[in-house]
Amino acid sequence: MSTTTLHSIAAPEPLRFQRWRTALLLLWVALVAVQAMIWLNAANVAAALMAIAGGGLAVHVIARPARLRAYPISTSMLLGYAASYFLLPPVATLLEWKPLTYNLVHPVLDFFHAFVCMLALLGAHKLYRKSSSWARTSCIARAAARCGPGRSSCSMCTSRWACSVRRATFS
């Protein structure tokens, strides 16, 4: 067998990661659903649904290999937020054999505010990702205008941050 045949047989790394991510997420959703069914009341079901929505959204949007490689610190912080507010509390309270809403005065409001904050953090992270690509695009455009067509960089603009440094210094 040639190496190209072996590479086509083995699943690529991101695909394997996506399968494990999906399998673990479905297992977690089943665990939260079982917990909501064991302690069946309106507050517990609403909190479980918001935990599933927040955790599922966070894992689906954030836990991607390319995103973790490109933005390791901010993505890790968002995963930490999702883990502490959505992913781990249902597991911990089920291991304690208590409902998800145990010891919460306003459980629906707590999970709702955590979900809204997660949406705001995801939006801010999207703006952050777009702003870094906008900075690269504008740096390349300025370098092409300065150096002439066909060249994306010159000796004056060799790094990613050179344009913003020059703009702040000379403007």
In whole angstroms, give the CA distance from residue 121 to residue 54: 12
Q: Is 59 within the bounds of a domain?
A: yes
State the number of CA atoms in the 13 A half-sphere of 35 facing the CB.
28
pLDDT at 138: 64
Q: Is 2 within the bounds of a domain?
A: no
Burial (CB count <10 Å: 0-12, 13-18, 19+), residue 94: middle
Q: Which of 35-49, 115-129, 154-168 has the lowest mean pLDDT?
A: 154-168
- pTM beyond 0.75: no
**Are the CB atoms for 129 and 72 separated by under 8 Å?**
no
Q: Is 8 within the bounds of a domain?
A: no
Domain count across the chain: 1
Q: Is 89 within the bounds of a domain?
A: yes
pLDDT category of residue 171 using cuts at 50, 70 and 90: very low
Domain that residue 165 falls in: 14-170
Q: What is the DSSP string of the chain?
A: --HHHHHHHSPPHHHHHHHHHHHHHHHHHHHHHHHHHHT-SHHHHHHHHHHHHHHHHHHHHH--HHHHHHSHHHHHHHHHHHIIIIIHHHHHHHHTT--TTTT-SSHHHHHHHHHHHHHHHHHHHHHHHHHHHHHHHHHHHHHHHHH-TT-S--TT--STTHHHHHHHHH-
pLDDT at 19: 85
**pLDDT tops 80 at residue 23:** yes
| Rg of the Cα atoms in the chain | 23
pLDDT at 117: 97
